[in-house]
């Protein structure tokens, strides 16, 4: 039994191809973080960032992103997922200046993106669950994402993002998820990103 456990641990340590997914609610900063990591690994941005909700409406993948650190030699596939929501209202997009036709099209694409993000959960090796630390962390959508990752036994790291903003309350995120791996970062400024890399390595 013990040998089997050690063998499993060693085989995980050797694993070099990791599908790292970015999950979270809409506008939590998933693409900003994915771009930050891609840039750090020497690649261009995965996708555009916007204040208009549902900017990422299809999963964007970056394959063979290479990281060498602390003796690890890892090929990441970064999977930037569409933000998950239970409501899609095109009128919210009109408020940002989109025409009604553009807004409805965006809403249709957003619903498909949400479906895609949920369906792809079982293809993920490690999930980063990105939370906007300026908001309350116990939004149901966060609990649902975390619950489903736990159900699939996918290692996850909660990323309390946007710590550069004055309203950020990462301590509330920590209080809400005391039993989870948690890293506080600013994807925008890169603050504490090294800690996140270490946390990812620790999950392997």
Partner 1 sequence: MNYIVDFITKNATDKLTTFEKVKMIIRLVRQNRVLIIEDGLSPEEEAELIKQTMNVIDFENFIGLEFFNWNRNSSDSRRFFKRTTLSGDKYTVVAPSAAVQIIENSQELLSIKFSS
Q: How far is the CB of 86 from partner 1 (least distance, A)?
A: 5
Spatial distance between the Cα atoms of 202 and 131, rounded to a whole number of angstroms:
20
Q: Is 94 exposed, middle or buried (0-12, 13-18, 19+ CB in 10 A)?
A: middle
Measured from the CB atom, is 23 or 76 closer to partner 1? 23
Q: How far is the CB of 144 from partner 1 (least distance, A)?
A: 4
Measured from the CB atom, is 134 or 176 closer to partner 1? 176
Measured from the CB atom, is 169 or 188 closer to partner 1? 169
DSSP character at residue 178: T
Measured from the CB atom, is 62 or 132 closer to partner 1? 132
Which residues would be at the binding site for partner 1 (CB under 8 A)?
84-90, 104, 107-108, 111-112, 114-115, 118-119, 121, 136, 138-140, 143-144, 146-148, 150-151, 175-176
Cα–Cα distances (Å) from 8 to 5, 23, 123, 127, 137, in that order, read 5, 26, 19, 20, 34
* Per-residue tokens: 63: 């394959």
Q: How far is the CB of 114 from partner 1 (least distance, A)?
A: 5
**Closest to 28 measured CA to CA, from 58, 59, 65, 56:** 56
């Amino acid at each position: 039994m013990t040998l089997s456990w050690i063998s499993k641990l060693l085989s995980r340590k050797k694993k070099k191809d990791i599908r790292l997914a970015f999950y979270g609610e809409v506008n939590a900063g998933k693409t900003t973080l994915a771009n930050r990591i891609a840039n750090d690994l020497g690649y261009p941005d995965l996708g555009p960032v916007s204040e208009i909700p549902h900017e990422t409406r299809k999963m964007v993948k970056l394959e063979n992103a290479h990281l060498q650190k602390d003796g690890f030699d890892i090929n990441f596939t970064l999977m930037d997922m569409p933000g998950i929501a239970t409501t899609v209202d095109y009128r919210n997009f009109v408020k940002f200046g989109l025409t009604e036709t553009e807004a409805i099209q965006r809403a249709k694409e957003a619903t498909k993106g949400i479906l895609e993000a949920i369906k792809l959960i079982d293809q993920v090796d490690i999930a980063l669950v990105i939370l906007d630390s300026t908001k309350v962390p116990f939004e149901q959508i966060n609990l649902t994402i975390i619950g489903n990752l736990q159900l699939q036994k996918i290692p996850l790291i909660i990323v309390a993002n946007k710590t550069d903003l004055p309203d950020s309350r990462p301590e509330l995120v920590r209080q809400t998820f005391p039993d989870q791996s948690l890293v506080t970062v600013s994807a925008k400024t890169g603050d504490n990103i090294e800690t996140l890399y270490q946390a990812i390595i620790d999950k392997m």
